[in-house]
Amino acid sequence: MDDEITILELKKILQKFKEDRNWGQFHDPKNLAEAISIEAGELQEKFLWRTVPGILEKLKNDKEYKKEVEDEFADIVIFCLNFANATDIDISKVIKEKIKKNNKKYPPEKAMGVSEKYNKLLLFINLQKRVSVKMLLLIELKKQFLIFFKKK
Ligand SMILES: [Mg+2]
């Protein structure tokens, strides 16, 4: 289905949905940003007090629960699309630009397997290097220790 409709087509469908109900008066950036946040909270509520393995199991085996999660996810995306319509944001353009920025902030050689924020990455790498040097020293010490006792 994702390959059957474009973002622009979705934006147009939502534009018509809004116009058919005269809801444009409510679709200002402040209201829509709040709506995105509220719907994100509703999505989080579906996971509240559950463990990640429990959530994954429920999503896999409980169709009603999965549908509820999908509905909350759809609410968020719909409000994001409405926000883009209300603020004349070209979604594809801004996402491509943001991915480009994130690629610079989080180059794979620094960010691989690390969840630190970009401004802490260098520090983390330095810490890893220091740990690595200590590990090498320890390995060398162990080798020398074994050689020393083998001679005796
Ligand atoms: Mg909702």
Do 88 and 145 have their domain in common? no
Contacts of 58 (CB under 8 A, 6+ apart): 50, 65, 66
State in Å: Cα 34 to ligand 1 middle.
12
Distance 101 CA to ligand 1 centre (A): 31
**How many Cβ atoms sit within 10 Å of the Cβ of residue 55?**
14
pLDDT, tens digit (0-9, with 9 covering 90-100), for 75-113: 999 999 999 999 999 999 999 999 999 999 998 888 888
SS3 49: coil
Q: Which residues surround ligand 1, an ion (CB under 5 A)?
A: 39, 42, 72, 75
Q: How many domains does the chain have?
A: 2
| Residues 139 and 82 grouped into a single domain | no
Residue 147 has pLDDT above 90, yes or no: no
Task: Please name which of 132, 138, 14, 128 lies closest in space to residue 81, comparing C-alpha atoms.
Answer: 14
Give residue 58 CA to ligand 1 midpoint distance, Å.
19
- Same domain flag for 69 and 129: no
CB-CB contact of 87 with 31 (8 Å): no
82 shares its domain with 18 = yes
Same domain, 11 and 86: yes
Ligand 1 centroid vs 90 CA: distance in angstroms? 24
CATH number at 14 reads: 1.10.287.1080
* Cα 145–chain centre separation: 48
- Tell me: pLDDT of 135 over 80: no
Same domain for 131 and 69?
Answer: no
> What are the pLDDT digits (tens) for 37-68?
999 999 999 999 999 999 999 999 999 999 99
On whether both 147 and 86 belong to a single domain, the answer is no
Residues spanned by the domain of 100:
7-105
Q: Is the domain of 16 the same as that of 41?
A: yes
